[in-house]
Structure 1
Amino acid sequence: MLKRVLLPFLTVLAFSGAAQAQAVDTSNPDALVKAVVNDVMATVQADKDMQAGNIGKITQLVEQKILPHADFTRTTQIAMGRNWSKASPEQQKTITDEFKTLLIRTYAGAIAQIRDQKVQYRPYRGTAEDTDATIRTQVINKGEPIQMDYRLEKTAAGWKVYDINVLGAWLTEAYKGSFNTIATQQGIDGIIKTLQDRNRQLANAKG
């Protein structure tokens, strides 16, 4: 279920770099999302290895291309909530790296499912002065509409995605509860251990 509902997000982010070669306009959040999605659909559909589930190829591409258009530090900070300030700079870096790895490995399995999904864009009415934007879309997957909203922040390097809303639930909020429970019971080191253990399980499962 997780992979199915996160598929549209993976479509936009995991291959975001594919659109870079076409000089994507990162100064406009709406243009950025549209350009990336349009290019990504063609890229994935033309790559049989990815559709066959070549995890190594998928992961490598994600690691090389996702960073220019996503702010994992901001994503992790929001998901950690009040526990972020309780972590040392070293712990913050470790948690961010492990969380990024977890998301990449979780999404990698969904990439193979990309086929003929269609994306409908809702009107964006932002202004040039905005520093935070929400781009609303609807993904049609096998005739089923899936709400997919993106939160982006304006940085010195252009707009970057830091959160998504799938069917009314923000990704950061979904993880915040789990992180808070672990931190309460086991402290910040407990969050790190949980993420590391989960990443090892996923790595072993994929051989």
Structure 2
Amino acid sequence: MRRQLWVRLFAVFVLATSNLLAVPARAQDQTADAFIKHLSSEMLNSIKTDPASRVGNVPAIIALVDAKLMPNVNFKRMTSSAAGPTWRQMTPEQQKRLQEEFKILLVRTYAGALSQIDDVTVAVKPLRAAPDDKELVVRTDVKGRGDPIQLDYRLEKTPGEGSSWKIYNLNIMGVWLVETYRSQFAQEINAKGVDGLIAALADRNKSNAKKG
């Protein structure tokens, strides 16, 4: 898949989830499709009202993602899934460092793409789910210029009182984000080991930071 497509669609993902903290408390028990539909509506408002998102101001977007998106994504699960079986062999320090560098990689790689997203709508497809389902997929179509683009969310429901949905994977046109990185991580681990993977991500993040 072309890098440009990944960039644009991840930007849709960030925008679609950037207002999650603004959801009223009573919406915590929303169905998963209603949850995504609400966020998709908020996405359009973000595009229109957030000047930093429109111009792709990287520090502002990173702050936005850290404050509003990441607390509502199971990023530990996302990172461990990308690392595959090797995750269980890592030390706690290695797990922490990998998670930190992976987070920076995703945020910085796609932050500038927010300015590319305009004139789009998100259609949430009908969902068949039981009330007690704890994990499921919500499928959407992103419509703009050209053919609709498939964008699906894999969600889990957090346990306990006031439970809510969290995102832990994203499917763009049939390709899951975590599985894509799993292949890349495996190649790096096989060549240079876990510390080599972390070092490679850190170097890439430093390079991205210099480029702005």
Q: Distance in 1 between matches of 2:20 and 2:10?
A: 18
Structure 1 residue 10 displacement after superposition? 2.1
| Cα deviation 1:9-67 (Å, max 9, x = unaligned) | 22223x133533x4472333222211111112112222233211211111111111113
Q: Distance in 2 between matches of 1:153 and 1:17?
A: 15
Aligned in 2, Cα 1:68/1:166: closer, same or farther, shift over 3 Å? same
Kept in 2, the 8 Å contact 1:45–1:114? The answer is no
Kept in 1, the 8 Å contact 2:124–2:139? The answer is yes
Match of 2:209 in 1: 203
1:192 to 198, 206, 212: 198
Aligned letter for 1:99?
A: F
CA RMSD of aligned residues (A): 1.5
Aligned letter for 2:124?
A: Y
What are the residue-to-residue correspondences of 1:8-157 with 2, within 5 Å? 8-13=12-17, 15-17=18-20, 19-20=22-23, 22-23=24-25, 25-27=27-29, 28-156=31-159, 157=163
Q: Which has the higher helix share?
A: 2
Match of 2:11 in 1: 7
| Cα deviation 1:144-199 (Å, max 9, x = unaligned) | 31001100111134210000000100000100111111111111101110110111
Give the match's secondary structure for 2:148: strand
Aligned letter for 1:143?
A: G
Aligned in 2, Cα 1:24/1:99: closer, same or farther, shift over 3 Å? farther
**Gaps (5+ residues) in structure 2?**
none
| Cα deviation 1:73-93 (Å, max 9, x = unaligned) | 010111111111121111111
Aligned letter for 1:6?
A: F
Q: Distance in 2 between matches of 1:40 and 1:87?
A: 37
Aligned in 2, Cα 1:65/1:11: closer, same or farther, shift over 3 Å? same
Aligned letter for 1:131?
A: K
Calculate percent identity across the aligned residue pairs: 38
Q: Distance in 1 between matches of 2:26 and 2:138?
A: 16
What TM-score do you get using the length of structure 1 for normalisation?
0.92
